[in-house]
Structure 1
């Protein structure tokens, strides 16, 4: 990480922080983290890809070192944030890889601004493309999350690392420090989601034109996307590739790094060869 860049861009009315492994001489890959994580939670992935790609790890608004405005914590606004970073850094049709919240952001980016990403990878996103699913956030969820965030911030970094180690024994040690740091930097403003703008998820998914990969885990281990939901997304995005990583839950790359990165490498290689 010592040679990685560390900077900000002004875009979409906020200051957005990012880390970057390269200087623009390799195909760009933008990484969008999940809720409560931040850019450096992608460190193992960035290290695995930096020899072949210019990797940009973005801190979402309210996360990491990015600005935490009072509002805008919805997939459409966050997609605008990613678009602003891509334009400010003059990245030409990068691949965008997102996890969970970041995967929802990535899907909306590709469906709303189809000219921006060159390819997308979705790591266990919320399946909001399903009929009847809701992307809103209820007050009970907000209350529970507020208590959770405050409980995290009452602990030391070392306590958080040990807690994460006990709760996630399959995670590599390299994951624990960035996870703990991200929780200590998290703003409670990320919970300001009472009235997110409506998104037509079916229409958005159908508008995706770039190569797309969905990576899924096991539902009985905590993964969100079921086989039926994966097929439903493929019906909306016919060119979607789906890779299942058995033995993993919601944090697929943390629990099955080698099969995850192998699938991503193969997908990115096909993408770069077609650029």
Structure 2
């Protein structure tokens, strides 16, 4: 993307925020007071301009080991990764950005296909002075992680995909998460008006129905936090675009899959969610795949099975270190 397109993309994002109907443009781009960061000052909040988009990110840790980039999914933000960040930060830098359109990051008017979002995250990584990274992605974040690794394979030391699916790969239309794929087409003026002021009601569908047990899914405090984050002016519209672009993602991923990824890949899936589906997909796009089904868990692995999930992540990330 050249400098002119960067400028147009940023300007269009400003117009998108200004066109929304509720608070002022300033309020639309300013998050509500966040919850305390993981009870530790070791995790710090930053913003950076990358690929024409202002991205908010959390950062922790130091050391010479390969940095880890954590990519969140829909209905969540970088906030979800704080418990893992404190576990990984002993020997390396750990970075958790808010995806474009989410959290404290800007809302570009376009570019929500995962190929472009991966380019945004890559530009952030390079702007921070890093070349090679380890990637971890959950839900929409795993799609961005895959698109990153497919476009920059020499710059990815390892990759983790966590419970969802890869559009355009294999028999992707039959994945468990597509049992009620109505929300893929739930975008535009009418859906925005229907959900406005009812963001939590909408998100409860995902947090409850995609969990093995809604009582052990996303916590009450986090439900309030994420609902407030996405309720800010224009954020739901941006979130809907993550699904609206699946047709483009499917075309891009089908093309990416023709060149299998060579780096080590771990796939973590909930027994009561994706099961072995994502593992099977991963074997179609990569040559070095480890698959783990987390017993009893649904889609929200970090919330439903935090100890088992983080143990797998830490072990894999440490085991694949080249430093």
Coarse TM-score class (shorter-chain normalised): 0.7 to 0.9
Corresponding residue for 2:199? 152
Q: Determine if the alignment matches structure 1 residue 127 to structure 2 residue 173.
A: no
Asked which structure has the greater CA Rg, the reply is 2
Aligned CA distance change for structure 1 residues 73 and 268 (closer, same or farther; 3 Å): same
The aligned runs of 1:188-267 (5 Å cut-off) are 188-190=236-238, 191-192=240-241, 194=244, 197-198=248-249, 199-205=251-257, 206-218=259-271, 221=272, 223=273, 225-267=274-316
- Please report how far the alpha carbon of residue 171 of structure 1 lies from its aligned counterpart in structure 2 after TM superposition: 4.0
Q: Distance in 2 between matches of 1:172 and 1:228?
A: 23
1:71/1:189 contact within 8 Å kept: no
Aligned CA distance change for structure 1 residues 68 and 49 (closer, same or farther; 3 Å): same
1:68/1:189 contact within 8 Å kept: no
SS class of match (1:115): helix
Question: After the TM superposition, which of the residue ranges 187-196 and 261-270 deviates more from structure 2?
Answer: 187-196
- Please report how far the alpha carbon of residue 112 of structure 1 lies from its aligned counterpart in structure 2 after TM superposition: 1.6
Q: TM-score, normalised by structure 2?
A: 0.71
Deviations 1:126-167 (A, max 9, x none): 23243354699977422696444640279xxxxx9xx98xx8
SS class of match (2:216): coil
The aligned runs of 1:49-198 (5 Å cut-off) are 49-131=88-170, 133=172, 140-142=185-187, 146=192, 147-148=194-195, 150-152=197-199, 168-171=214-217, 176-186=220-230, 187-190=235-238, 191-192=240-241, 194=244, 197-198=248-249
2:164/2:278 contact within 8 Å kept: no
Once superposed, what is the RMSD of the aligned Cα atoms? 3.1
Deviations 1:151-187 (A, max 9, x none): 0279xxxxx9xx98xx8322475xx434432331220
- Please report how far the alpha carbon of residue 18 of structure 1 lies from its aligned counterpart in structure 2 after TM superposition: 0.4
Q: Which runs of 5+ in 1 are unaligned?
A: 155-159
Deviations 1:57-81 (A, max 9, x none): 1001111100012221121111111
1:62/1:68 contact within 8 Å kept: yes
The aligned runs of 1:15-26 (5 Å cut-off) are 15-23=54-62, 25-26=64-65
Aligned CA distance change for structure 1 residues 251 and 138 (closer, same or farther; 3 Å): closer
1:30/1:56 contact within 8 Å kept: yes
Corresponding residue for 1:157? none
Corresponding residue for 2:28? none
Q: Determine if the alignment matches structure 1 residue 268 to structure 2 residue 293.
A: no
Q: Distance in 2 between matches of 1:267 and 1:249?
A: 21
Q: TM-score, normalised by structure 1?
A: 0.82
Q: Distance in 2 between matches of 1:108 and 1:249?
A: 24
Q: Distance in 2 between matches of 1:79 and 1:6?
A: 21
Aligned CA distance change for structure 1 residues 9 and 24 (closer, same or farther; 3 Å): farther
